[in-house]
Structure 1
Amino acid sequence: MDRKKLPIGISDYKKLIEEDYYYVDKTDFIRQIIEEGSLITLLPRPRRFGKTLNLSTLRYFFERTEGNVYRPLFEGKSIEQWKDFDRYQGKYPVILVTLKDCKADSFDQFLMMFGQELQNEFLRHKYLLEDPRTEPVYIHDFNAIIEKQATEVQLQNSLLMLSTMLTTHWGMPPLVLLDEYDTPIHVAFDKGYYDRMIGFMRNFMSLVFKDNTDIFRGVITGILRVSKESIFSGLNNIAVFSLLDRPVCTSFGFTQEETNTLLNDYSLGDGADSVKQWYDGYLFGGLTVYNPWSVLNYIMYDGVLAPYWVNTGSDVLLRHLLADGPSQIRMGVESLIQGEPIRSVINDKLAFPDLLAKPSNIWSFMLFSGYLKATDPVLNNDDLIEYELQIPNREVKTVYRTIIQSWIDGGPVKNDRLELMLQALKENNMPIFQRTLNDFVVNTLSYYDTSGREPEKVYQAFLLGMLVSSGAYEVSSNRESGLGRYDILLRPRDLSRQGVIMELKLYDPMYDESVESVLDSALRQIEDKQYAATLRAAGVTDILKMAITFDGKRVWVKMA
């Protein structure tokens, strides 16, 4: 077959179809919005999963024009088989506003950017000024928006006014589409004008979506559902379909079947298993979904596997949450990198200032932003739904590895010290290993909380982070081996090289006889529990057994 152009960066449905780009048919999304959605439907999804394209598809399907000029765009598409196709196609005026580019350093700059977006949409409907039924006061405000002279109040009232004018002109209420509504909120939080933004957006959203009889449907997209108590206050007519819910779950991203077809159409079917490891693993409504941006880029770059999606956005907020959140967040990240799931309640109504308030808020942010997947929902003792969380795929795992490396690089102790420590480990030079590890702890462990109830886990997570970043070993922790569970096990990638078992113990001067007695106790535990069994079973014969004990930020090391 003649290979069509790949629609990378194309978010306009009309352009995509008319210029014959490759299109994965998602037009059944239109039917689902009508049959499964509410008067107002909010669809939070991670970035680059097709939100803007889907809203553009809605626009061209519903938009009423002279001669119904958009109907040919849907010939041969799945939506054409819908029993209500003719009832809805080309029957409604449409308002489409996207906020994805409203990323301002200040609130006043945001108002300018927002005014520009509104100007574009109002110019599209400039014919309304010629309607003799239009109220004179509307003409004044309409022109203010076109001329970019609108006040903050006029901007807040803009879509309510436009919907009223469209209803009067066409005799039909409009479909209102608001794309990436939370992008300016996210930026406002980062730039320090969050409260002003929340106040503006609350009024703006309420005016157009609450009790507005001049609206056919409203569809809103974003990444997060910003706390209902703030943005969506009073909107009782809204349905929220997050990535945890079944409705419209496969309308964003590529299904397994769609991905297989796409790869085969570009003669890359042989790489399907690798593509699955790198870009699959998202669960929307319990169904497996591929990252569309990464799959399309993989094809464009002739089958080169790379972290395409993770490089499309800033991870500054994620880094901030992981570094400044509770220590159990960082320990959880270490577990996730090792392939060990964690469990958490998920909060789908987040407010940015509350993200650091508790770990479940941070895990929720990471889930809805595309950095985790959730399975196995269980009602806990507090009658809240708790999920099992995992890293979805290999691409996303690169984000966590990069962040862990930045923790290690962030202090005065740099990678040359890490290499020295690993070299000392290789040479069984415990004095150098202990001295270098102490340097790391003193200079870097300020990111962690060593004064909590379980400092062993903090040290374990810290060591795992360093060792995972080295790449010299396959690192695991808290796994069964022999007659118990080891703390840390390093399996060399070259099985002829040395493997390592580490047992961590807390030294408490109030109760323990001496540091030496604690170290000896840890070494005995390695022997008594036969922790080396896993390494021997893998074919590793050279095994280093290490005891590590600590008191605050002092560390001692001993080998068998």
Structure 2
Amino acid sequence: MSVNVAIGVQDFSTLIENHYFYVDKTAFLKEWWDSGDSVTLITRPRRFGKTLTMSMTEQFFSMEYAGRSDLFEELEIWNDEKYRNLQGTYPVISLSFANIKEPTYELTQKKICDLIAQLYFKFDFITESNALIKEEVNLYKKIMNHMDYVDATLSLNYLSGFLYKYYGKKVIILLDEYDTPMQEAFVDGYWDELVTFTRSLFNSTFKTNPALERGIMTGITRVSKESIFSDLNNLKVVTTTSDEYATTFGFTEPEVFEALGKCGLDSEKSEVKRWYDGFIFGEYKDIYNPWSILNYLDSQQYTTYWANTSANSLVAKLVREGNRNIKSKFEKLLCGECIWSEIDEQIVYDQLNGNEQAVWSLLLASGYLKVLSYEKYKDIPEGTEPKYQLALTNLEVKLMFHRMIHDWFAMARPDYNDFIKAMFAGDVDAMNEYMNRVALQTFSYFDTGDRASGAEPERFYHGFVLGLLVDLQDRYYLKSNRESGFGRYDVMLEPKNPGKDNAVILEFKVRSTRKEKSLEETAQSAITQIRERKYSEELKMKGITEDQIKEYGFAFEGKTVLIVD
């Protein structure tokens, strides 16, 4: 290997000083500074170089790195004399919320306060100068050692002022992964408390701060302005659909192919593209996720590097507990199809439960979906919002979701596997025995949160269909009508090798106590529907004989399932 790849290094100087593999992204410094924006919020998926970019920005502008031309002299930014003169000329406050993932609000606030206290310790030398008066020194020591709630919300504002007085220059403030604690707050149920605290902290830091020169915040999502940014009218927001900084985060295709060439891997370009390409930022296509590329260059093995490291718990929860529309559209995505949805890039976390648009918006911001096209306002009726054509980003993301869905049935895996075997063998008694155990063990897993009465079987069913799709994809084409209304949602499993495997048709119904006297009657209605509507004709036209087609009617009532053939 002709490049030395270091995995997990997020400190800019460490990469440069040790001559580790690095893709020059210093053009960001010029683009950002020339923009003149007061405070910039940049959202990108995890592991896309946000932390390394913030480290690079700190070490370029910070007075702590004055005279460190060796870090930049071989890079693009050093070609511009204006920027050579800017290096090392500003006080910089840099902090990251990336590791704030606590289960309670109290612990979250304490950890944020501890993080800020460490900054005060770092700059404690300014209290020994004559720049601060006695009262300011006392306030500095108080915040550093025993800050209360009010002190905490004002702490970065105060620190900016102290540094301004000491250095005689306004400060640059860099806050990395600002939304990490907010995702945890949503999952663990302390969202409202954290929003109140962070709104005050961000307002005093980035809005009412006369000592602020410039600021950058990075994160995965653009949390709704009403939640925490209501007072920040000086905020420039750059999301995955924006053109600004489009090539800063992630690797472009020329950058990836150049790296492959240096490693003698030119023959792998098409496969690397299939696995790791697919991200689109603004109008710029063919962005690769850098974490997977670095790991591939290091190991030269194809696997789900990025998907394995991302925090997928929230995504899994939203899909697993989503309504039938969410699960049905997810089925289409897993089959390689596209969906259309309105998108709101301002993520409203308290709308994620049951709001389909909010779920797709979060998946897009997190990098699991990409935009293929979108409607323009001039082409749609007045007063409506444009819809976006969405697809899974790449093969790596698809395999990550396969694993996630496979894990849904982990608690009932033996019974689930036995049910599949019995289904292909035509053993209805065994199917009933196993399926009822599977349903009993997994109903509550699919069904949490507020829901309309009678929705439980529907949520379980759609999750079950996704499980069939994932587990049988190598041997079968799974088809379903995906129409609304649980009562007539049928599934067809068409074998890829008809001479070896049987075909299967499934029809699912929930018992209506007004229409059917028993669960048996409901199940018989399902099997009758298969035969009266001649669902098997499609299979027969492809040369599959009648004795190779298994037909089953499923009836649900609460957590009880009855299957007939």
Question: Scaled by the length of structure 2, what TM-score is found?
Answer: 0.85
- Percent identical pairs in the alignment equals 30
**Matched ranges for 1:405-444 at <5 A:** 405-410=406-411, 414-430=412-428, 432-433=430-431, 436-437=434-435, 440-441=438-439, 444=442
8 Å Cα contact 1:497-1:540 kept in structure 2: no
Range 225-234 or range 116-125, more displaced: 116-125
**Matched ranges for 1:475-554 at <5 A:** 475-478=477-480, 487-494=490-497, 496-502=499-505, 504=507, 506=509, 519-523=527-531, 525-526=533-534, 530-533=538-541, 535-536=542-543, 543-544=548-549, 546=551, 548=553, 550=555, 552=557, 554=561
Change (3 A) 1:106 1:461: closer
Instruction: Select which of 374, 379, 383 maps to 1:377.
Output: 374
Tell me how far apart the structure 1 counterparts of residues 349 and 62 of structure 2 sit (CA, whole Å): 35
1:262 maps onto 2:259 in alignment = yes
Amino acid at match of 1:53: L
2:286 partner SS: strand
8 Å Cα contact 1:45-1:222 kept in structure 2: yes
Q: Counterpart in 2 of 1:318?
A: 315
Q: CA deviation at 1:353?
A: 2.8
Q: Counterpart in 1 of 2:149?
A: 152
Q: Over residues 21-60 of structure 1, what are the superposed CA-to-partner deviations in whole Å (9 max), with x where a residue is unaligned? A: 1101111111221234621100112221111110111111
Q: Over residues 287-341 of structure 1, what are the superposed CA-to-partner deviations in whole Å (9 max), with x where a residue is unaligned? A: 222121122112222x122222222244332232223332322223222222222
**Matched ranges for 1:257-296 at <5 A:** 257-286=254-283, 287-296=285-294
Q: CA deviation at 1:439?
A: 5.2
1:289 partner SS: strand
Range 250-259 or range 433-442, more displaced: 433-442
Tell me how far apart the structure 1 counterparts of residues 186 and 528 of structure 2 sit (CA, whole Å): 51
Tell me how far apart the structure 1 counterparts of residues 111 and 188 of structure 2 sit (CA, whole Å): 16
Q: CA deviation at 1:400?
A: 2.1
Q: Counterpart in 1 of 2:390?
A: 389
Tell me how far apart the structure 2 counterparts of residues 443 and 184 of structure 1 sit (CA, whole Å): 32
Change (3 A) 1:119 1:4: farther
8 Å Cα contact 1:13-1:53 kept in structure 2: yes
8 Å Cα contact 1:96-1:176 kept in structure 2: yes
8 Å Cα contact 1:495-1:540 kept in structure 2: no
2:327 partner SS: helix
Change (3 A) 1:258 1:479: farther
Q: Counterpart in 2 of 1:364?
A: 361
8 Å Cα contact 1:202-1:232 kept in structure 2: yes
Tell me how far apart the structure 1 counterparts of residues 354 and 553 of structure 2 sit (CA, whole Å): 33
8 Å Cα contact 1:327-1:458 kept in structure 2: no
Q: CA deviation at 1:78?
A: 1.8
1:356 partner SS: coil
Tell me how far apart the structure 2 counterparts of residues 131 and 83 of structure 1 sit (CA, whole Å): 33
Q: CA deviation at 1:230?
A: 2.2
Instruction: Select which of 450, 464, 467 maps to 1:465.
Output: 467
Q: CA deviation at 1:171?
A: 3.0
Question: How many pairs does the alignment contain?
Answer: 544
1:395 partner SS: helix
1:216 partner SS: strand
8 Å Cα contact 1:405-1:466 kept in structure 2: no
1:246 partner SS: coil
Instruction: Select which of 207, 210, 232 maps to 1:210.
Output: 207
1:26 partner SS: coil
Change (3 A) 1:548 1:246: farther
Q: Counterpart in 1 of 2:11?
A: 12
Range 499-508 or range 452-461, more displaced: 452-461
Q: Counterpart in 2 of 1:309?
A: 306
**Matched ranges for 1:193-204 at <5 A:** 193-204=190-201
Q: Counterpart in 2 of 1:402?
A: 403
Q: Counterpart in 2 of 1:28?
A: 27
Question: Scaled by the length of structure 1, what TM-score is found?
Answer: 0.86
Q: CA deviation at 1:521?
A: 4.5
8 Å Cα contact 1:345-1:387 kept in structure 2: yes
Q: CA deviation at 1:355?
A: 1.7
Tell me how far apart the structure 2 counterparts of residues 273 and 317 of structure 1 sit (CA, whole Å): 32
Tell me how far apart the structure 1 counterparts of residues 526 and 495 of structure 2 sit (CA, whole Å): 27
Amino acid at match of 1:265: K
Q: Over residues 201-232 of structure 1, what are the superposed CA-to-partner deviations in whole Å (9 max), with x where a residue is unaligned? A: 11111001114232221100111222211211
Q: CA deviation at 1:194?
A: 2.9
1:498 partner SS: coil
Q: Counterpart in 1 of 2:62?
A: 63
Amino acid at match of 1:72: D
8 Å Cα contact 2:2-2:262 kept in structure 1: yes
Root-mean-square deviation over aligned CA pairs: 3.4
8 Å Cα contact 1:501-1:531 kept in structure 2: no
8 Å Cα contact 1:477-1:489 kept in structure 2: yes
Tell me how far apart the structure 2 counterparts of residues 339 and 37 of structure 1 sit (CA, whole Å): 42
Range 353-362 or range 466-475, more displaced: 466-475
8 Å Cα contact 2:274-2:395 kept in structure 1: yes
Q: CA deviation at 1:435?
A: 5.6
Q: Counterpart in 2 of 1:483?
A: none
2:216 partner SS: strand
Q: CA deviation at 1:89?
A: 3.0
Change (3 A) 1:523 1:452: same
Q: Counterpart in 1 of 2:2?
A: 3
Q: Counterpart in 1 of 2:485?
A: none
Range 6-15 or range 368-377, more displaced: 368-377
Tell me how far apart the structure 2 counterparts of residues 514 and 151 of structure 1 sit (CA, whole Å): 63
Q: Counterpart in 2 of 1:329?
A: 326
Tell me how far apart the structure 1 counterparts of residues 102 and 461 of structure 2 sit (CA, whole Å): 40
Change (3 A) 1:130 1:63: same
Amino acid at match of 2:167: W
Tell me how far apart the structure 1 counterparts of residues 151 and 351 of structure 2 sit (CA, whole Å): 31
Q: Over residues 495-532 of structure 1, what are the superposed CA-to-partner deviations in whole Å (9 max), with x where a residue is unaligned? A: 54125252636587877998657634423544686344
Change (3 A) 1:433 1:232: same
Amino acid at match of 2:44: R
Change (3 A) 1:474 1:81: farther
2:409 partner SS: helix
Range 55-64 or range 436-445, more displaced: 436-445
Instruction: Select which of 211, 223, 240 maps to 1:226.
Output: 223
Q: CA deviation at 1:235?
A: 0.5
The runs of 5 or more residues in structure 1 that have no matched partner are 481-485
8 Å Cα contact 1:141-1:150 kept in structure 2: no
8 Å Cα contact 2:426-2:550 kept in structure 1: no
Q: Over residues 151-204 of structure 1, what are the superposed CA-to-partner deviations in whole Å (9 max), with x where a residue is unaligned? A: 232222222122223333333211111111112222333444333322221111
8 Å Cα contact 2:321-2:459 kept in structure 1: no
Change (3 A) 1:140 1:7: farther
Change (3 A) 1:515 1:145: closer
Q: Over residues 443-499 of structure 1, what are the superposed CA-to-partner deviations in whole Å (9 max), with x where a residue is unaligned? A: 54563689779999974663342352245523332489xxxxx95443445454125
Amino acid at match of 1:95: I
Change (3 A) 1:153 1:509: closer
Change (3 A) 1:496 1:270: farther
1:90 maps onto 2:88 in alignment = yes
Tell me how far apart the structure 2 counterparts of residues 189 and 11 of structure 1 sit (CA, whole Å): 27
Amino acid at match of 1:271: E
Tell me how far apart the structure 2 counterparts of residues 185 and 150 of structure 1 sit (CA, whole Å): 22
Instruction: Select which of 161, 167, 175 maps to 1:170.
Output: 167
